[in-house]
Structures are given as C-alpha cells and as structure tokens.
Structure 1
C-alpha cells in the first residue's frame, strides 16, 4: 500500500495531520452543545435543561443540570486521559489512538439516539473518554516522531484542527438552527462519525514511535522507523547516532532506579516531580484564563447577557470560533521562530486585558458597552490560542523524560480536562450570582500565569527531546531551568554530555 512507502518529512506531516483530525473531533465536541441547548426540540427531549422557560429555583436547578450536561464531557475526557497511565505504555501510541476512536464511535451513537437526560450524560461521558485518550497520546506521539526543527509546527497543527472543530460545530449549528424537529441537534452530533471514520481507517497504518520501541527493547524496529522518519537508510550514521542518544538517555535514567527514577513524583537528578508539575501547570493555566467560558457559553452569553436574537447570537458564536482557528493558525508560523515562553506569556497577558475589559464593560450594560464586550471576546479568542491552547500539551511532552513520558502526557491532559470541567460546571452559576465580577477572577489568574511562566518555564524551541532532558539534569532548583536553558547552546552534542556525566557518576560511586 502507498501509505507504507511514505517517509521523511512527509511521514512526519502525515502523523501530525491524522492526529490533528482527532483534535478536530475534540473541538467539535466542546462546541457542539453550545448551539442547541436552547432549541425547543432539544428541550422537549431533555426538559431538565430548560433554562429559557423557567424562573426562580427551577431555573437555578436547571442551570446546574445544563452545566452538568456540558461539563460531563470534560470529566469523561479526564478519565480517558487518566486511563493512558495504564494502557498507554502497554498498547503503544497508534493502538491507543485506535481504541480511543472506537470508544468515541460508541459515545456519539449514544448521544445521537438520546431520548433522556441519563442517555445524553452517558453518551457525553463515553465520548469524552475516547477524546481524553486522544489528548493524552497524540501530542506525545507527534513530539516523539517529529524533528526538533519542525516539532513545534507539527504539534500545533493539532491546535488549528481543534479550533477548526469548534468553528465547524458552530456553523453546523447555525445552519441546523433554521430546521425544525430533532434533526436540528441529532445531525450535528452524528456528523462526528465522518471524521472518526477517517481516523479509524488510517490509524492502523501509522508507524510506532521509535522512542517507545527503544524503551520496550525493540531496537531493530526502532532503527527501521527512525530511518523512515528521517528519510535515510538504516545504516546512515545520522540514524545510528540518534538511536544511540535515545538509548543512552534511557540508560542514564534507568541508572537512577535506586532513587525511584520510575516514580513521576520523585525529586531525583532527573527532576521528575518538577517536570510533572510544569506540564500539568501549563494546561491548568489555559483553563484558568477563562477562554472556555467564551467558547462553551458564547451563545447563552450573547442571547442572555448581551440581548441578541437567537440567530444573531449563533452567528457571533460561529465567528468567534473562526477567530480561534485563525489564532491557532498564527501560532504555527510563530512557534519555531519566537519560541514557547514568549508566546505563552503573550497569550495569557492578552487574557488579562480581555477579561478586565469585559468585566468593566458589562458592569454597566448599554448597547455601546455590549458591542465593546463583543470586541474583547473576539480579541480573547484570537490571541489566547497563539500561545496557550495546544502549546501546553506539546510543552508537557517536550519536557518529560522518556521513561515517564506517557505518565506526564496523560497527567497534562487530565489537568486540562479537570479544570475544564470545573470551569464549565461553575460558569452558569457564577454568572447568575456575581455577574461581571466573574471575569475579574480570570483576569487575576491569567496575570499570575504570566509570572509563573516567566520564572519557571525554560525555552525548548529547536531542541531535541534529549537536549531538553539535559536542561533539567543540570538544574538544582526550581529556578534553575530557565537560566540553564539560556546558557546551553541549541544543538550541543548530547551524546558527549551523557557520556561525561555517566563517567562522573561512576567516579563518584568509586570514591564513595
């Protein structure tokens, strides 16, 4: 088959694009519910979520139920990402993706055939489990198969597709808004099966990660796939050196076993706990910027808070998702030029501005201030994904050592989904109780995020995964990685450094 002959950068791009389709489904799922929670046909099937035709205590109760229907997808995704801790390293990268796709199909079918609150909840959580497995696997898989020079661009393709999924869902919802009956919401849910069919038909042909194969002792397979990824022969010295570097880095980490090297919570020379907290903190900061308040509830905000008609609200909401996708596209062109740190800080600072502005404008609602709030919603939707959408997922996989990379990648995704769940669950209640002050919360958390990234997150642009290992190995405190990253030149001889550090460790052991 032709796909088996693809190699070099073409193979790296194929892996990245197919993984990105999985993220398109993620974005689609996060946005699709936004468009039909106020539709009469949806409310007729699930009356427990009716907040448009109820008042008082009943409306508050229904808001909680509606929040649960929206947010339980994130809870399922957290469970799916968590499951990668157990199955991710047993099945490998492509097979985990295959299982994830099958689970998503089951969840989508349950949602499409929904006739009760319990059924939609089960369908949302099952679909979430599959999506969570994708988010816990794909960024790590793409990072491990991409070259250091192209890694940032290839991983961020996932962000463009995820954000495009949000936009596709919004425009499908807008189109179906003008139809009548259950088809107006059943069709948008079922449409995901088209994307899932693409993934499930092509995933079995994807090569395994060579780093995973080396970790499992399958060196001959790793050499063959590494050569294919580089577009070189298996005997080429560049391939041989790359394989040797990965083997040496893994062996050095294995040499720390007496200090619980395999434990992700250990504070050994390889700084496992330190790296785990940085990885989980990145995705947490994305959710605590409040971006998904806009993405998930924009239709309700435009209709309820800002007073637009149902049709206009859906048009604005769909246009917001286009702004998100454009921001993700911009990131691809900047990530390997500007770097990770500046882009993450820039995006979070943009959220400080946007959330503060929306709070001020909506505190005294008029027609003019409502229009101003809409502008800053678009401002936030464009600038946040430039540095804080897929970037934290990629960063978590970049800084993780190979021995626990699947654990760190899974934890990164779990952190994202749990905080996403929290935000989705409290948003409607928070708006009902504190209104515009809710935006101030996210302005403050975004400002804190800027400071944290500046102090603790080292730059990884242009470095191999083994070079990034060395940054943490040479660090002695949580403040060191930023300084060490600035000191170490990009492209230094990792193998020579590993050999020297191994000799020094052996000498210290002999002296002791």
Structure 2
C-alpha cells in the first residue's frame, strides 16, 4: 500500500485527472471551440449551423454540469469522495462514447448532457477530496497543481483540434471526443491506490478506518498511535463536532439568523465564481475560433492558432500561481488577476474597434 509522499502523488494525480477532464471538455473548453468550425463535423451535423441549435449544443453540457453538481451536493456525503468520483467517471465515459460514436444529432446531444452530468460530479468532488486528504502545509500548492491540469488540458485540447483539422475525414471531430476517455482511465485507475478521505470517514463515524487513512496520508512508516496521527485525528474530530453543534439550516443562513457570518462567506465564495463567468471566460472559450473567423475575418488556420495561443497563455499564468500562492496570498493574486484581466479587456476593445469586420474584408 502507498503511504506518505507516494500516496500524495497518487491522490493528486487522481484529482488532477478529474480536473484535466473538466478542462478538456467542460462546457466546451478546449475541443468544442475547434470542433465547431471543423468541415466534416458541420457536414455530418448541419443542424449546428443554425445559431439556436449551435448555442443549445454548447450550453447543454453546462446544464449537465449543473445537474451533476447538484447530485454531488445531495448524495456526495452519502457515497463518499471516491465513490462519487467513480460514479461520475462512469457516467461521463458513457457520454463520451455516445459523442464520438454519434450517427445522429440527437445521439450527440444526449451524449453531451450525460457527459456533463458525470463531469459535474467529478469536477465538484475532486477539489474537496484533495483538500480533505492533503497536509495543511502543502494543501495550497497541491490544490493549484490540480486546478492547473484544468488549463493544461484546455490548452492541449485547443492545439489538438488544430492538428486533427488536417485530417480529411470524421477523425477531425471523433478523435478529440474519443480522447476524453484518457483522463477517465487515469482517474479510475489511481482511485484504487488511495484510501477514502479521513474527514468523510469521521463524518460517517468510521473512526478506525479514518485513523488508518490518516496514518497513510501523513507519512510513511507511521503507526496509528503516533502523535502526529492522533493529533490530526483529534483536530478533525473536534472540528466536526463544532460543525454539528453549530449547524443551521440553509434558510437560517439566508435570513442571517446565525452569528458566524455564513451568508457573507457563502456569497464571497459564490461571488468569485459568478463574477468569473460574468467576465465572459467560458463564452470566450466556447466561441473564440468562431469570433475570430466570422466576426474578425481571420482564416480558419489563424483562428485555430490564436485559440491555441490564448490557451497557452492561460496555462502559463495559472502555473505561475503554484510558485507564488503561499507567499503572495490568495486575495492578492485574485486582485492582481482582476486588474490584468480588466487591462486586457480594454486593449482588446481598442483593437477590435480598429480592425475591419469580416464583411468589410
């Protein structure tokens, strides 16, 4: 059995595979932006040429994501972190198979929503699993590593569709869809090597299993009676007891009937994600190639190349956080990113205003 650092690597690899899957195809990140302008895909599914159906094809994956996240919220604490990831991976794999083997637009759409449900379950669970099973001193960096795989595979997906665009057959779009199964395989495979989250085990009052899980995660060669294991066990158990005693309903949180500022904390967490989406990140990733080709008059090749360049800078900037997050702090990095993003929007707006449109060209 793996223990200590090797186990930490296996845990991070499993959760990174879940985020890699999320980055490769979540809500059309990566491959869909390139597939939507593939000749053979459009010939096979001419329905996508209609704006309404194109938007539905892209967004239905997000609907599946939402359902998957809700399923994790409702059943995640009953299933456990590992089983939730396994179920999500299985559902998502079925969706991926339906997509790359699609012979009709209906099958493709069904595959998209099923894939989204599974992806929502895995992507919403892997971060929790990583945080609960990592050492406190390394939790920040390891969480960054996991999230970085999201953008790495977004980048790889963007360049992959450029490579497959040179194929003169259905491989243009079937290969990118089929490769979704690779991170699924890594996720399921590495889950066999790691124990369940010790915090979840204590949540279910499975104390002996929780101690054994902690022993393996905290270091190689430790015993259940070692001080470091017992101290961590007591710390998690104490935190759970406090949570149980202070637990309040969601309605009470919304009506601010508690004294712990839970509403403010919830809104801060939700607000960052909401504002990220309202900043247009996913909309840009969905349609970046289409915007460059149809609205700015660029060639298909140049649109694909710039999509890959955009993905690469996205990846590099995310990776930089790994080296500075513990020194600079979370808040400073978020404010810095916000400032740089605002500056970029101003520059893009000026550039677009100066460029002739596709019709003019």
Please give the TM-score of this superposition, normalised by the length of structure 2. Answer: 0.92
For residues 349 and 30 of structure 2, the distance between their equivalents in structure 1, rounded to whole angstroms, comes to 23
Aligned residues: 353
Q: Which has the higher contact order (CA 8 A, sep 6+)?
A: 2
User: Which residues of structure 2 form unaligned runs of 5+?
Assistant: none
Which of 198, 222, 232 is 2:210 aligned to? 222
RMSD of aligned Cα (Å): 2.1
Cα deviation 1:136-157 (Å, max 9, x = unaligned): 1011110111122211111111
For residues 251 and 262 of structure 1, the distance between their equivalents in structure 2, rounded to whole angstroms, comes to 21
Which of 193, 197, 221 is 1:205 aligned to? 193
What's the offset of the Cα at 1:104?
Answer: 0.9
* 2:36 matched residue in structure 1: 37
Which of 16, 22, 27 is 1:20 aligned to? 16
CA contact (8 A) 2:10 2:190 kept: no
What's the offset of the Cα at 1:262?
Answer: 10
Change (3 A) 1:353 1:272: same
Change (3 A) 1:346 1:194: same
CA contact (8 A) 1:303 1:310 kept: yes
For residues 355 and 160 of structure 2, the distance between their equivalents in structure 1, rounded to whole angstroms, comes to 30
For residues 275 and 11 of structure 1, the distance between their equivalents in structure 2, rounded to whole angstroms, comes to 32
What's the offset of the Cα at 1:228?
Answer: 1.4
* 2:111 matched residue in structure 1: 123
User: Which residues of structure 1 form unaligned runs of 5+?
Assistant: 51-61, 371-512
Matched, 1:189 2:177: yes
State how 1:453-472 maps to structure 2 within 5 Å.
none
Which of 243, 263, 269 is 2:233 aligned to? 243
Larger radius of gyration: 1
Which of 304, 310, 313 is 2:303 aligned to? 313
SS of equivalent to 1:26: helix
What's the offset of the Cα at 1:270?
Answer: 3.9
CA contact (8 A) 1:98 1:204 kept: no
CA contact (8 A) 1:112 1:187 kept: yes
* 1:339 matched residue in structure 2: 329
CA contact (8 A) 2:88 2:119 kept: yes
SS of equivalent to 1:205: coil
SS of equivalent to 1:363: helix
* 2:318 matched residue in structure 1: 328
Please give the TM-score of this superposition, normalised by the length of structure 1. Answer: 0.66
SS of equivalent to 2:30: helix
CA contact (8 A) 1:28 1:169 kept: yes
* 1:175 matched residue in structure 2: 163
State how 1:78-97 maps to structure 2 within 5 Å.
78-97=66-85
SS of equivalent to 1:114: coil
SS of equivalent to 2:297: coil
What's the offset of the Cα at 1:261?
Answer: 8.5
* 2:5 matched residue in structure 1: 9
SS of equivalent to 1:161: helix
Change (3 A) 1:210 1:263: farther
State how 1:372-411 maps to structure 2 within 5 Å.
none
Change (3 A) 1:269 1:7: farther
